[in-house]
Amino acid sequence: MSKTSFTTKLLAAVVAVAAVAGLSACAVGDGTDSSKPTIRLAYQSFPSGDLIVKNNHWLEDALPDYNIAWTKFDSGADVNTAFVAGKIDFGAIGSSPVARGLSAPLNIDYKVAFVLDVAGDNEALVARNGTDINSVADLKGKRVATAFASTAHYSLLAALRNAGVDPASVDLIDLQPQASLAAWQRGDIDAVYTWLPTLDELRKDGKTLITSRAIATAGKPTLDLGVVSGTFAKDHPEVVDTWRKVQARALRLIHSDPAAAAKAIAAQLGTTEEDAAAQLKQGTYLTPEEIASPEWLGTDGKPGRLAFNLFSAAQFLAEQKQIPGAPTEQTFVDGLYTRGLPGAFAEK
């Protein structure tokens, strides 16, 4: 596919989905106080501190002069679309979609302001029982589902490359987590690369071939990130600081009181506290101090290695012809929001 046709098709898809995003965003504001400005947040249903913040109304309590509007999205690709459409201010999104978003043709004006988690066993490739698939190499000629432009898609491509499998030899199908579960149950697909909580449902009738933890060890780590619109961050840095403080508070809760963290996440996922606790154990949750270290986000004036992680992801996506090309590493350095760190993560 030529670069021109790639760009045309991708932007056409963005415009189409943006129209839908616009309709849903209109509904989000219903019943809000028209005298107050609204902060629009995109969240996803995977275990994270973001769900704790939402469930416990910490942002609403911390910012009483604002309406707080949470909108659920199924994947990072949809979150990117909402940013392109100008419908959200903050978003929970995977590192692979962020690498795409900061690259052409999207060139989204957003900044990475937080690390929600590092993918571990909470994201994996599972083969359905009875398909005679026992390794990644067995996926040739099989029907494999994943949410395109997600961290799972990125990890699936990395797994195929590491196993010497040409992606063209696999029937890759673009399905969101719940849609992939339905297709799995019908027997329409042979394997799925996805994340919790759908992943646990697939494991009941399938075999784990590889996890994102193993892929990270092989040099392709993925993360879930918190991003903020560049314009919003410039105009409202004090709001970004408040948002970061409540996200840091949620991470501290995961470490200090995992039972309370699981209770909040269970309420958001509609599952039991035991299941939520088990799901939390499958991910890696950094401390706020680790996030503000050189290994990850870094500090004010000294962006961390997360920029190189995103640059490497963009290079890989370009090699796999998932994006037309990777921008320079400086693009990703500029894409980190380190203003006020590490002090901005401090407890009140």
What domains can be seen in the chain, in order of their start residue? Answer: 38-118+222-345 (3.40.190.10), 123-218 (3.40.190.10)
How high does pLDDT run on average in the chain?
91
For residues 125 and 155, what is the distance between their CA atoms, to the nearest angstrom?
9
The DSSP letter of residue 252 is H
pLDDT tens string 157-175 = 999 999 999 999 999 999 9
d(CA 282, CA 192) in angstroms, rounded, equals 18
pLDDT in tens, 18-28: 444 443 333 34
Reported as a single tens digit per residue, the pLDDT across 316-342 is: 999 999 999 999 999 999 999 999 999
User: Percentage of residues in the chain with pLDDT exceeding 90?
Assistant: 87
Indicate the pLDDT class of residue 9, thresholds 50, 70 and 90: very low
Phi first, then psi, for residue 259 (nearest 5°) are -65, -45
Rounded to the nearest 10 degrees, what angle do helices 306-319 and 151-162 cross at?
70
